[in-house]
Amino acid sequence: MKHGRYPFILSFLALPVGLYAWLVILPFAQAFQISLTDWSGSSNSFEYIGFDNYVNLFKDERLVLPALRHTGIILVVLPVVTIALGLFFAFMLNLGGRVRRGRIEGVRGARFHKVVYFFPQVLSVAIIGILWKQVYAPENFGGLITGALTSVGLPAPVNGFLADKRMVLAAVIAVLVWSAVGFYLVFFSSAMASIPRDLYEAAIIDGAGRGPMFFRITLPLLWDSVQTAWIYLSIVALDVFVLIYMMTPERGGPDAASEVVGGVIWKYAFNHGEQAFASALGVVLFFAALSLAVVSLRFGRRERIEF
Amino acid sequence: MATDTAPGSTAEGASGADEAAPPARNPQRAPRPEGNVLNVFSQGFLWLWALMVIIPVVWIVMSSFKTTREIASDPLGPPEAPHWANYVNAWTNGNIGGYFLNTLQVMVFSVAGTMLLGAMAAYVLARYEFPGNRVIYFGFAAGMMFPVFLALFPLFKTLQNVSLLNTYTGLVIVYIAYSLPFTVFFLTAFFRTLPTGVAEAAVVDGAGHYRLFFQVMLPMAKPGLIAITIFNIIGQWNQFLLPLVLLGRNPDDAMISQGLANLALRQGYEGDSGALFAGTVLAMIPIFIAYILFQRQIQAGLTAGAIK
């Protein structure tokens, strides 16, 4: 078994590692290099200009600064709301039922709820975008929410929710939460199911209500899962763009009110022909993702509880 | 450790809550009032969210049977008569059928390739010690975090240089390369959990490295392979940015998500929202059927990937 070991390892790794290095690692490395030049992307001539692109990034008040602000908002709101709802629903499904003979139960129809909640997760962003664009549409285009509001006599935005500067970002974040909650419900739910039931039953005997039960038993034991969810959602938040591309006017409008970092990279790279500038913003995004992961892994770490 | 659950057991773990409800009622002891109030409360919230998921989806299906004028004038009501012409329009003018076939054509190769290359790399990384093992493993794992925007343009140029831009071959290899990080990361963890006893027995029987992999280890890794295959099918079916950049030239060659986006854009000019919704429903149907049939595996597979 010793002989032919290295040829075997080499033959199995050559293709996957080669492909990965060529199509993933190399393009990322090139993007770093491009970000230090003044390359437009179309010609073959460029010069190295050091960190000028990075300096100019923070002077672009039309697109980059609003985009950084909006991505920052999504980065905070999306994980907080999604994790809170996911934990809440998972707790309700697993432990929100009646107490019978000292045993605590999940609610009826837990299976059904999981199937329904999770469904948006398998839909493509293109489909979700088309669906919600119509839900948010103005009344004379047949919008669902505007139509429902008007039919019960409440005021609705005349041009729909997506054409309104004050509402567009919230509307997009709501869709992001809508599509993500099911995943984290199932994720937290399977983690909760592995917490021994005796812990809860002991708590019932001690007369604890559901609130203390959640904060004293469930949450501490799920800490690792919450942390993982946080990292995942942060990465999702940094990568938000396709939904905005599909739903909002001018792909980030109106008036840059829903502009995000991904969208600005897209616009500079593919519409304005400013490759180097776009790459610099991409590099910033890359380091943001990296430092988020490092920070949450370092500071989120706690004593692990074995059970 | 809650998060050390093996992928196979998450499915059972997830369903544990449902089985906890014993059907037998105990007439002597009434349930505690606190539990009742909470039960109504939790059922209320759970149904509220369930309706928030169901209503938009059902509503778009309903709208896809309306004429475009009906969609605008009476958004909430049911269609007067099912307007099948929307579906004909979506299929013929909207070319949804063509996009389906295109996507299928690419994915047969990209999913198979991802799984084969991913399993090979993961197996070697999980079961063989050699210098550089850790570096390659973390190289793959780090790929899960890269924001894809950063690579889009260099990737475009790379494919252009080897004349694979706007070809399905190019898209297939890019799909494989970008699916590898998750696939390798997850399958490495899975191959590590497989018992060594069987492998040792096979070696004693004279199996070489290759036979050991294809005849012993791959069959043993089947649950993990299935979960990750489903994950990759959904991921690649829904892929949007990569085909948008790498397959931009001929609109007829588009993948399904990209085709729907084209249809949405065209609908903006022509105002045929009925056909757009019919196309959206058509694109949802295969995913919906697959989801209902395999929802346990899908939920287990997708969430197991997040459990490290």
Tell me the per-residue pLDDT of A125-138, one tens digit each, with 9 for 90 and over.
999 999 999 999 88
Distance between CA atoms of residues A273 and A268, nearest Å: 6
pLDDT tops 90 at residue A51: no
* Domain interval for residue B169: 93-306
Of B45, B264, B303, the CB nearest to A183: B303
On whether residue B64 sits in a domain, the answer given is no
**CB contacts, 8 Å: A114 with chain B:** 14, 299
| Number of folded domains that form chain A | 1
On whether residue B31 sits in a domain, the answer given is no
Angle between helices B222-237 and B7-19 (to 10 degrees): 90
On whether residue A11 sits in a domain, the answer given is no
On whether residue B34 sits in a domain, the answer given is no
On whether residue A9 sits in a domain, the answer given is no
Q: Is A62 on the interface with B (CB under 8 A)?
A: no
Distance between CA atoms of residues A16 and B180, nearest Å: 8
On whether residue A247 sits in a domain, the answer given is yes
Cβ–Cβ of B31/A98 closer than 8 Å? yes
Tell me the per-residue pLDDT of A36-50, one tens digit each, with 9 for 90 and over.
988 887 777 788 888
Cβ–Cβ of B56/A187 closer than 8 Å? no
On whether residue A10 sits in a domain, the answer given is no
- The CATH number assigned to the domain holding B198 equals 1.10.3720.10
On whether residue A35 sits in a domain, the answer given is no
Kindly identify which residue of chain A lies nearest to residue B148, measuring between CA atoms: A239
Lowest mean pLDDT of A98-112, A190-204, B158-172, name the range.
A98-112
Count Cβ neighbours within 10 Å for each residue of B248-273 and write b for 16 or more, e otherwise: eeeeebbbbbbbbbbbbebbeeeebb
On whether residue B299 sits in a domain, the answer given is yes
Cβ–Cβ of B273/A307 closer than 8 Å? no
On whether residue B158 sits in a domain, the answer given is yes
> Which residues 238-277 of A are in CB contact (within 8 Å) with B?
238-239, 241-242, 245-246, 262, 265-266, 269-270, 275
* Residue A164: Cβ within 10 Å count: 17
* Domain interval for residue A230: 50-299
Cβ–Cβ of B2/A225 closer than 8 Å? yes
* Model pLDDT, residue B70: 85
Q: Which residues of chain B have pLDDT under 70?
A: 1-38, 268-270, 301-308
* Model pLDDT, residue B305: 54
On whether residue B268 sits in a domain, the answer given is yes
| pLDDT mean over A92-112 | 76
**B165-170: long-range pairs with CB below 8 Å, 24+:** B165/B246, B165/B249, B166/B246, B166/B247, B166/B248, B166/B249, B166/B250, B166/B253, B168/B102, B168/B105, B168/B106, B168/B253, B170/B246
* Model pLDDT, residue B24: 43
Higher pLDDT, A246 or A207: A246
On whether residue B41 sits in a domain, the answer given is no
**CB contacts, 8 Å: A142 with chain B:** 63, 71-75, 273
* Model pLDDT, residue B10: 38
Max Cα-Cα span within chain B: 79
* Model pLDDT, residue A179: 94
Distance between CA atoms of residues B256 and B233, nearest Å: 13
Assembly ipTM: 0.85
* Model pLDDT, residue A87: 94
Tell me the per-residue pLDDT of A236-249, one tens digit each, with 9 for 90 and over.
899 899 999 999 98
- The CATH number assigned to the domain holding A91 equals 1.10.3720.10
Lowest mean pLDDT of A139-143, A237-241, A298-302, name the range.
A298-302
* Residue B283: Cβ within 10 Å count: 27
On whether residue A7 sits in a domain, the answer given is no
| Number of folded domains that form chain B | 1
**CB contacts, 8 Å: B214 with chain A:** none
On whether residue A307 sits in a domain, the answer given is no
On whether residue A179 sits in a domain, the answer given is yes
* Residue A211: Cβ within 10 Å count: 9
On whether residue B286 sits in a domain, the answer given is yes
| pLDDT mean over A172-176 | 96
pLDDT tops 60 at residue A254: yes
